[in-house]
Chains A and B, each alone.
Chain A
Amino acid sequence: MAYEKFKILKSNCVPLPIENIDTDQIIPARFLKATERVGFGDNLFRDWRYNSDDTQKKDFVLNNKKFDGKILVGGKNFGSGSSREHAAWAIYDYGFRCVISSFFADIFRGNCLNIGVLPVQVSAEFLDKIFQVVFDDPKSEIIVSLLDQTVTIVKLNISEPFEINSYKKNNMLNGYDDIDYLVNIKDTIKKFSKTTPL
C-alpha cells in the first residue's frame, strides 16, 4: 500500500517514557478483526487511552491536549511482542510518521519501515534529553531528517545521527514498497525456485 513520502519532518512530539511497550498495548488483539485497513488509529493504545466504559483516561498522554505532533517518543525496547503489522498501522493511521526510541524490537521496526513510519533509534542519553525538553515545554520541536539521517532537538540545538540502510532509505524517500521491487525480479525468482528441494 502506498504511503506518504518521508524526507524531513519538523514537529513537536508525544512523549511516552515507558519501557518495553509491547504490540498488545499499541493495539490490543480484540481490535484485529478487520478485513480491511480501517479504524486502527482510533484504537491505538486503546486500554491505556480509554476506561472499560469508553470514557477517556485523563492521565494518558494522548488525551492530554498539551501534547501533539507527528512524532511519538517511547522508552527502550519499543514494539516488542507480536508481528501484527496492525501496531504500525495504528501508529500511522493515528497520524504519527516517526517513532523515536533508544531500542526497537526487530519485527516492529521492519513493519514500520514497510508502511511508512520511520523508526529512529537514538542513544539513551539523547532520548532522555528529548523527554526532558518536551516535558518542560510541550511545544518543543524535533527535526527528523531522513536525507541527512539526523535527529535534532531544536531548542538545545543538538543533533544525533541515526542508522538506516540505503535501500530502505531510498524506499521511504520515494514512497516505494518492496513488492514493486520483487515483482520486477519475478523471473529470477521463478528460476531460483527450480533449484530448491521443497
Chain B
Amino acid sequence: MSKTLFDKVWDSHVVHKIKDGPDVLFIDRHMVHEVTSPVAFLGLKKRGIKVLFPKKTFATADHNTPTVNQHLPVKDPLSANQLLALEKNSKLHGISYWGLGHEKNGIVHVVGPEYGITQPGATIVCGDSHTSTHGAFGAIAFGIGTSEVEMVLSTQCIMQPKPKTMRITIDGKLNKGVSPKDVALFIISELSTSGATGYFVEYSGEVFRDMSMEGRMTVCNLSIEMGARGGMIAPDAKTYDYIKDREYTPKKENWIKAMKYWNTLASDQDAIFDKELKFYGESINPMITYGTNPGMGMGISKEIPLAKNQDGGIETYKKSLSYMNFSEGQSMIGKNIDFVFLGSCTNGRIEDFREFTKIIKGRKKASNVTAWLVPGSHQVEKAIKDEGLLDILIESGFELREPGCSACLAMNDDKIPSGKYAVSTSNRNFEGRQGPGSRTLLASPLVAAAAAVTGKITDPRTLY
C-alpha cells in the first residue's frame, strides 16, 4: 500500500499497538532542557528508575539563561536552581549536557541540527512545542509534556494516537523580500491557529524545494502555531549536504547505508492525505501580525481586518485588538515601535542574521528602538563574527547578545516592558509572552531589520 512520508517514519517506530488506544512509539532522539525536565527526573527518582538509553538523550540549557555576562553566576536564584538541577540530573544519568558556557550550548532546536543529532527518518521529541523544527530534515518531531518526558527518559517510548495527515503544497516562486517566515505566517493566517489541530503536516512543492535548510526549519518550527503536532519535509540533496560530517551523523559505510534508507523517505506518488491544501508562492507578501495569536497576521501593507469579517468570536477579536491598542481597518505601515528582537528557534540561525544585515548595512539603528539580537547558539554567534556580520552590526549601532531563548518567552531578564511594541522574529505574540503587558508583532528578519533602522513598521522592499 502506498504511504506518506509521515506514515513511513511513524509505522517503522511503532513498538506496540494498543487496541482503541494510542500507539507505543519508539523515540530515537530526546532533547531535554531545564524548564520541562526537573519534575520528570523527580518522577524517575520516586519510581526508583534510571534513564533507559542515556545515549539517545541530549540536554542543553536555553530557556532560563541570561544573554549577557554568561561567564558570571546566574543572578536569578530560581533560574540558577533550575539550571543546576539539569546539570545534576544529566550527570546522575550519564546524559550529554551542554550547559551555560559550553561551546555547544544554544537553543535546543538550533543545536540539535547543528551537531547532526537531527536526522531524516528519526523520531525526535522534546518538552517544547517547537520541536517541530526538526521536521525540516524529514524526521517526525514534536513537543511533549513533562509526563511524557518522564516516559521517554524511563522507557524511550511515548504513547500517542497516530495523527491524521495533511499536505500543504506551495508551487511557484517567492517574491523579492518574501522569506520563509512570511510563508509560514501566511499559511497560519489562512488556516488560523487551530486549522491543523489533529494533523501532522507535510510541506511540499517548489517553494519548499527551493528553500534552504534554515528556511525549512523556520517553516516547520511554526507548524505548531496552526495547531499541527508537527510538520515535515522530505529529505533531499540539500538535507544531506547540511548534515554530512556533523558530529552525530553516520560516517563512511554507515553514511552510505543511511542514505539508502533516507532516499526511500518521500511520500509515494499515490499516497493519500487526510487533507490537501494548495497555495501559490507569488501570492505571498512580507507579513506582520497585529493581534495576540500567530493566526492574526496580514500582508504588511494591508489594513487590519474588520471584526465583522472574522469567522471566530467578535468579542475575542476585539479584546485582542484592544490589548494591542490597534483598531479595525487601521494600516500598520509607519507605526512607531520600541523594540526589535532578532532571535529564537524560529529565526535565530545564521541565515537570519545574514538577511538582517542586508537591510541595516550602511544605515543606522533608529534612536527610538532598543534592539536585542540574540544568536540561537554559539555556533551561530561564531559564524556571525567569522563572516564579518558583527562588524556591520556594530557599524550600524547594534550589539550582539549571547545565545539563548531570550525574549522569545522572557523567562530571563530580556522582557519587553508593559505597553511597548516589539517587532519580533520569534513565534508567539500571545498576551504577555514577551513580558507582562508587552505587545508583540511577529515578522521576518527583513521586516525586523526595516523596523530597526526606521523606528517604524516599514515594508522592507522599500529599503533594497
Please say whether chains A and B are actual partners in one complex: yes
Contact with A185, one of B24, B127, B410 (Cβ below 8 angstroms)? B24
The answer for the CA separation of A32 and B49 in the assembled complex, in Å, is 25
In the complex the two chains form, is B15's CB within 8 Å of A47's CB? no
- Indicate whether A12 reaches chain B with its CB closer than 8 angstroms: no
In the complex the two chains form, is A83's CB within 8 Å of B430's CB? no
In the complex the two chains form, is B143's CB within 8 Å of A107's CB? yes
CB-CB under 8 A for A35 and B193, given A19-B316, A165-B20: no
The answer for the CA separation of A4 and B132 in the assembled complex, in Å, is 32
Interface of B is mostly: loop
CB-CB under 8 A for A197 and B121, given A84-B145, A114-B148: yes
In the complex the two chains form, is B313's CB within 8 Å of A75's CB? yes
- Indicate whether B22 reaches chain A with its CB closer than 8 angstroms: yes
CB-CB under 8 A for A103 and B145, given A33-B78, A35-B81, A198-B119: no
- How far is the CB of A16 from the nearest CB of chain B, in Å? 11
In the complex the two chains form, is A103's CB within 8 Å of B24's CB? no
In the complex the two chains form, is A179's CB within 8 Å of B430's CB? no
The answer for the CA separation of A188 and B24 in the assembled complex, in Å, is 11
The answer for the CA separation of A35 and B77 in the assembled complex, in Å, is 12
The answer for the CA separation of A193 and B16 in the assembled complex, in Å, is 12
Residues of the B chain whose Cβ atoms lie less than 8 Å from the Cβ of A76:
194, 312-313
In the complex the two chains form, is B29's CB within 8 Å of A47's CB? no
Residues of the A chain whose Cβ atoms lie less than 8 Å from the Cβ of B39:
34-37, 85
Which of B102-110, B330-338, B431-439 sits within the interface?
Answer: B431-439
Contact with A along B115-137 (1 / 0, CB 8 A): 00001011000011101000000
The answer for the CA separation of A190 and B24 in the assembled complex, in Å, is 13
Interface residues of B in 38-52 (CB under 8 A from A): 38-39, 42-43, 46-47, 49, 52
The answer for the CA separation of A69 and B286 in the assembled complex, in Å, is 47
The total of chain B residues at the interface (CB under 8 A) is 83
The answer for the CA separation of A20 and B316 in the assembled complex, in Å, is 8
Interface residues of A in 17-33 (CB under 8 A from B): 17-20, 22, 24-25, 28-30, 32-33
Binding site for B on A (CB under 8 A): 1, 17-20, 22, 24-25, 28-30, 32-37, 47, 52, 75-77, 80-86, 88, 103-107, 110-111, 114-115, 165-168, 177-179, 181-183, 185-186, 188-190, 192-193, 196-198
Binding site for A on B (CB under 8 A): 13, 15-16, 18-22, 24, 26, 28-29, 35-36, 38-39, 42-43, 46-47, 49, 52-53, 56, 63-64, 76, 78-79, 81-82, 85, 119, 121-122, 127-129, 131, 142-148, 150-151, 154-161, 163, 193-194, 197-198, 227, 229, 257-258, 261, 293, 312-313, 315-316, 319, 409-411, 418, 428, 430-433, 436-437
- 15 other contacts beyond A37-B39, A107-B145, with CB at 8 A cut-off? A24-B409, A25-B430, A29-B433, A30-B410, A35-B42, A77-B193, A80-B194, A85-B145, A166-B20, A179-B47, A185-B15, A186-B52, A188-B15, A189-B24, A193-B156
A-B pairs, top 9 by smallest CB distance, nearest first, are A167-B21, A85-B145, A83-B143, A111-B145, A33-B78, A35-B38, A114-B147, A182-B155, A85-B146
